[in-house]
Amino acid sequence: MHTHSTSRISLPSHSLQPILPTVFDPTPLQPVSFFPAGSEIYAQGERAGAFYQVEFGAVRVYRLLADGRRQISAFHLAGETFGFEADTTHHFFAEAINATGVRVFRFATGADISRQLLPLALKGLTRAQEHLLVLGRQNAIERVAAFLVDMAERQGGLQQVELPMSRMDIGDYLGLTIETVSRVFTRLKDKGVIRLLNLRSIEITKHDALHAMSE
């Protein structure tokens, strides 16, 4: 059951600016649902019948092992889409990391959205495959560096990068413990590659060095 199912509130969509180029022109504008920090968007095993676009905030998509080990397969920031499945069942959990607005596109029965969905699915596939290289073959510094470079790129390539997620989330995304993530942050700081502005935002002071570390 949804621990947080009562926390979803539909907002009038006109109150939000269409900041992002509307990718789905033929579709009538969908309402935006609001999810408080930590609330569930969907759960593994639930019936799938929609896909989602982040309006603001951030989302983590993950899987669990029986003993509680967690692997976050992806973070989704404003403008990004997620939630498509190969069949009618969700194979993962999705949660709002912070207060998050999500536009929900329900599949109208019989409607053919494959033209719209394919490029998004392919983008997701490439991302997942690239992340496999990080998890399978890179060490802790390389993983964190790759993560920071990726986050920077997705935020427009600016020096200052916001990290909406906790160290625990970062660890569960990179296949590391929070302690190792923390130690790597400290090492990067000591090397002068990054500055820790506060817990949830860093400044990349040596972008080339960081990029080199990510291989």
Residues at the interface with its own copies (CB under 8 A): 61, 63, 65-67, 69-71, 73-74, 84-86, 91-92, 112, 114-115, 117-119, 121-126, 128-133, 135-138, 172-175, 215
Q: Which residues ranging from 111 to 150 are in contact with DNA (CB under 7 A)? A: 139-141
Indicate the residue among 32 and 176 with the shorter CB distance to its own copies: 176
Instruction: State in angstroms the smallest separation of the CB of 215 from its own copies.
Output: 5
Q: Of 44 and 186, which CB lies nearer to its own copies in the complex structure?
A: 44
Question: Which residue in the set 91, 183, 195, 207 belongs to the binding site for DNA (CB under 7 A)?
Answer: 183
Which span sits near DNA by CB under 7 A: 15-23, 24-32, 99-107, 169-177? 169-177
Order of strands, edge to edge, in the sheet holding 100-106? 9-11, 32-35, 100-106, 50-56, 81-82
Matching residue, tokens 């907002």: 11
Rounded CA-CA distance 83/55 in Å is 14
Cα(106)–Cα(98) distance, integer angstroms: 23
Q: Which is nearer to DNA, 51 or 173 (CB)?
A: 173
Question: DSSP secondary-structure letter at 47?
Answer: B
Among 71, 182, 205, 214, binds DNA (CB under 7 A): 182
Interstrand relation of 32-35 and 100-106 (parallel, antiparallel or unpaired): antiparallel
Structure tokens at 152: 């920077």
CA distance 62 to 55: 20
Contact 178, 171 (CB under 8 A): yes
Interacting residues of 11 by C-beta distance below 8 A, sequence separation 6+ = 31, 32, 33, 34, 101
- The answer to the question of residue 175 lying near DNA (CB under 7 A) is yes
3 makes contact with DNA (CB under 7 A): no
CA–CA gap between residue 16 and residue 101 (Å, rounded): 10
Q: How far is the CB of 151 from its own copies (least distance, A)?
A: 17
- Indicate which of its own copies, DNA, none lies near residue 122 (CB less than 5 to 8 Å, by partner kind): its own copies
**Could you tell me the smallest distance in angstroms from the CB atom of residue 71 to its own copies?**
4
Binding residues for DNA, per CB under 7 A?
A: 139-141, 166-168, 175-183, 185-186, 196, 198-200
